[in-house]
Structure 1
Amino acid sequence: MTRIIAGFAGSLTLQVPKSGTRPTSDRVREAIFSSLEARDLVAGARVLDLYAGSGALGLEAASRGAAEVTLVERAGSAARVCSANARLVQGRAAGGSAPSIQVVTKAVATYLASATGPWDLVFLDPPYELGDAELERALHLLAPLLSEDAVVVIERSARSALPGLPPRLELDRRTSYGDTALHWLAVAHAH
């Protein structure tokens, strides 16, 4: 069972696509958002959730005060689940304070090639079988669309290496939770 952990939609149970996705565990999501909120990176943020699956990461950000959330999911069935979950989350928002949540049914690279940004917070939780080259391409397309202080969180199998990064992004840190590794990326600033 996947649920929103905190914020105005806290404890709301989300639908999960029947197949083809691997929802981020509550424990890992809690760790991600504890870290982000400690750095005041969620409230008011423009959030992009790539390979969204059920949309749980982006919708958690929406529940915790993100201003705008875009969920990008190629599979039509999963994108429909994202849309249903987005409606549930927006339905929990108090009078007129619902964040803007958009669901885009496109491949990540296709979406990024024509997207504008800038985004403050980006989640990439691709299927574990997604090749490094495809993930690397997504990061290269994403890099110019990030705000100056953006944070990018990549969730991968703990056995996967970090793919090659574009010059604008640098590894901030890596944290592991069982089979899951989180790679925290930051925008590189000229020193």
Structure 2
Amino acid sequence: MRVIAGKARRLPLKTLPGSDTRPTTDRIKETLFNILQPEIPDCSFLDLFSGSGAIGIEALSRGAASAVFVEKNPKACSCIRENLTFTKLAENGKLLAMDALQALRSLEGRQVFDCIFMDPPYEKGLERQVLEYLAESTLADEHTLIIAEADLHTDFSYVEEIGYEISRSKEYKTNKHVFLYKRK
């Protein structure tokens, strides 16, 4: 796994051994950031369920002003710290070593994020919990792009009921990215 583009281009990133995290492949990450590119320069980026931090680091490398990484696994947190230091992007990154919903509550009222990315463990309903929280939160407004990475079979039919519209969905072999905005 490596940084695809930007300041830290081609630098390798550490990942956790084993199956505790599912690192987004370079190919999927490149496709994702081709879609996100207009949003990234100078944005504030929130990377929930960060794993190795590869998505937030890619955003910083491509010009995001800041990135907040949220990860509760202590080994993954060490990996994120090492990757931020190695890529020389630590100055613009902040790590919150805690549960995603706890982190959202701790960030409440401090800023509105431009992009929020989440890649929760599959089939646990965590993306719905985060979306329900963000629907009433000051962390996202109608201009905030929210991206959920999920298993191909994850149902997002409920999102309109809680105040979102899906602007795009991109499917891969085993997973998908769903792009959402809060309705105005």
The TM-score, its normalising length taken from structure 1, stands at 0.87
Output aligned runs, 1:45-124, within 5 Å.
45-90=43-88, 100-116=92-108, 117-124=111-118
Percent identity over paired residues: 31
1:135, CA displacement in angstroms? 2.4
Q: Extract unaligned runs of 5+ from structure 2.
A: none
C-alpha root-mean-square deviation of aligned residues, in Å?
A: 1.6
Partners in 2 of 1:136 and 1:105 — Cα distance? 21
Residue by residue over 1:139-165, the C-alpha shift from the partner in whole angstroms, topping out at 9 and shown as x without a partner, is 122232114411111111112222733
- 1:186 paired residue among 169, 173, 181: 181
- Equivalent positions of 1:7-26 (< 5 A) are 7-19=6-18, 20-26=20-26
1:95 corresponds to: none
Residue correspondences, number: 178
Runs of 4+ in 1 over 4 A off after TM superposition: none
Per-residue displacement from partner, 1:19-57 (whole Å, max 9, x unpaired)? Answer: 3000011111111111111xx200000000000000000
What is the distance in 1 between the residues matched to 2:174 and 2:120? 14
For the pair 1:31 / 2:25, whether they are aligned, the reply is: no
* Alpha-carbon separation, structure 1, partners of 2:181 and 2:134: 12
The answer to whether the aligner puts 1:141 opposite 2:133 as a matched pair is yes
- In structure 1, the gaps of 5 or more residues are 92-97
1:110: Cα distance to partner? 0.8
Per-residue deviation, 1:6: 0.1
